[in-house]
A and B are shown apart, each in its own frame.
Chain A
Amino acid sequence: MAKILIDTKAEAKLSLKEKEDTLALCPFAAIEVVNGNLVINDKCRLCMSCVRKGPAGVYLFEEDKVEELDKSQYQGITVYLDNHDDKIHPVSIELLGKARELADKISTPLYALLIGHNLSETLKQLDGYPIDKIFVYDDKKLAQARIETSTAIFSAFNQSVKPAVILVGATVWGRSLGPRVAAKLKTGLTADCTKLDIKENSDLVQIRPAFGGNIMAQIVTPNHRPQMATVRYKIFSPLTKTGHHPEVVYQDVPSDLVITTEILKSHVKEKAPSISDAEILVAVGRGFKAEKDLEMARELAELLGGQLACTRPLIEAGWLDASLQIGLSGRTVKPKLIVCLGISGSVQFKAGMENAELILAVNQDEHATIFDVAHQGFVGDLYQIVPAWIKALQERSS
Chain B
Amino acid sequence: MNILVCLKQVPGSTKVDIDETTGVLKRDGVDSKMNPYDLYALEYALSLKQEGDTITAFSMGPNQAIDMLKEAFGMGVDEAVLLSDRALAGADVLATSYAISQGIALLGDFDLILCGKQTTDGDTAQVGPELAQWLSLPHGANVIKIEEITDSDVTITLTTELGSQTQKLPRPCLLTIEKDANTPRLPSYKKLQATKDKEIRILGVKDLKDKDPKHYGLNGSPTQVERIFPPSVNTDKILHQGTPQELTKAFVNALKEARFL
Contact = CB atoms under 8 A, between A and B. Distances in A.
Chains A and B come from one and the same complex:
yes
Interface of A: 1-3, 24-27, 29, 41-49, 52-53, 64, 84, 89, 147-148, 151, 171-173, 175-180, 182-184, 186-192, 205-206, 209-224, 260-269, 271, 280, 304, 328-329, 336-337, 347, 350-351, 357-358, 360, 366, 369, 371-380, 384-385, 388-389, 391-393, 396
A328 B161 contact: no
Interface in B104-152: 120-121, 123-134, 138-139, 141-142
Nearest to A43: B62
Contact of B226 (A220, A328, A360, A378): A220
A381 to B, nearest CB: 8
A176 B129 contact: yes
Contacts, number: 305
A101 to B, nearest CB: 19
Given A1-B214, A189-B130, 11 more contacts: A1-B87, A27-B26, A47-B90, A172-B141, A179-B133, A180-B130, A183-B97, A192-B124, A212-B123, A375-B237, A378-B240
8 contacts: A1-B219, A29-B30, A179-B125, A183-B98, A188-B222, A260-B138, A328-B123, A377-B239
Contact of B16 (A214, A261, A369, A376): A214
Report the contact-size class of chain B (Cβ under 8 Å from the partner): 35 or more
Interface string B154-175: 0100011111111111100000
A266 to B, nearest CB: 5
B52 to A, nearest CB: 27
A2 B93 contact: no
A180 B254 contact: no
Closest 10 CB pairs of A and B: A212-B14, A46-B90, A188-B222, A188-B223, A183-B133, A269-B163, A27-B25, A176-B141, A191-B124, A179-B126
Contacts of A29: 27, 30
A49 B170 CA distance: 45
B129 A25 contact: no
Contacts of A389: 248, 251
Tell which of A172, A268, A269, A375 has the most Cβ of chain B within 10 Å: A172
Interface of B: 11, 14-18, 22-27, 30, 62-64, 84-87, 89-90, 92-94, 97-98, 120-121, 123-134, 138-139, 141-142, 153, 155, 159-170, 213-214, 216-219, 221-234, 237-242, 244-245, 247-248, 250-252, 254-255, 258, 260-261
A90 B33 CA distance: 38
A372 B224 contact: no
Nearest to B160: A172
B229 A216 contact: yes
B64 A266 contact: no
Contacts of A222: 224
A374 B237 contact: yes
Contacts of B164: 266-267, 269
